[in-house]
Amino acid sequence: MSEIIKVGMADLKICKSPDALTTLGLGSCVGIAIRDPITKVGGLAHIMLPDSTRIRNNTNVPKFADTGIVELVNQLVKAGASRSRLVSKIAGGAQMFAFQNKTDLVRVGENNVHASKVVLGELRIPILAEDTGLNYGRTVIFYPETGEFLIKSVGKQEKVI
């Protein structure tokens, strides 16, 4: 029996096929799904903020793109994934409110997406697909078996990237 493991906000989990991973209601946060297509080990991180070095309370590793993605990769490798085969898909980073950019946290969603891409780039993990930005929330399910990343939103058709 396969199960779908839930990943909370500022959290990360890994699993092996046929299990899957999900995170519900991604808003300005970003969901980063990484897998090894051969061993079918996969992981999902739900990050909230781009950069741990700019925050004083930064001990919560999965909360930040920089520390969260690195930790996810470490756990995947420990679970039998090959570091060099890892590929990724990302979703989220919406701007939920039109004037959100007025606050000092300028365009948080956009920054989260950008930071995630930078970190994945530094780690040389290709981004195969993304569904980011815009102004609506997303629930995602990641299947390490196929690499499918299912995205559900309110009042919109489900899609797979």
Partner 1 sequence: MSNIDINEMSQTYVDVLKEIGNIGAGNATTALAQLLNCKVDMKVPQVKLLNFGEVGELMGGEEQVMAGIYLVVEGDINGSIMFLLEYQSARHLVSKLMGTQSEGQEFTEMEMSALKEIGNIITGAYLNSLSTLTGLKIYPSVPDLSIDMAGAILSVPAIEFGTLGDKILLIQTQFSDEIELDGYFVMIPDVESYGKILTSLGITM
Q: Any idea which residues carry the catalytic annotation?
A: 29
Question: How many residues belong to the site for partner 1 (CB under 8 A)?
Answer: 34
Which two structure tokens, joined as six digits, stand for 138? 């997303």
Where does 57-149 have alpha helices with state H? 65-78, 108-122
Considering the complex, what minimum distance in angstroms separates the CB of residue 23 from partner 1?
8
Q: For partner 1, give the closer residue by CB, 25 or 37.
A: 25
Site for partner 1 in 39-98 (CB under 8 A): 48-49, 55, 57, 60, 63, 94, 96-98
* 72 close to 79: Cβ distance less than 8 angstroms: no
Query: What CA–CA distance (Å, rounded) separates 53 from 36?
Result: 29
The whole-angstrom separation of Cα 90 and Cα 84 is 18
Binding residues (CB under 8 A) for partner 1: these are 8-11, 24-29, 48-49, 55, 57, 60, 63, 94, 96-100, 102-105, 108, 135-139, 154-155
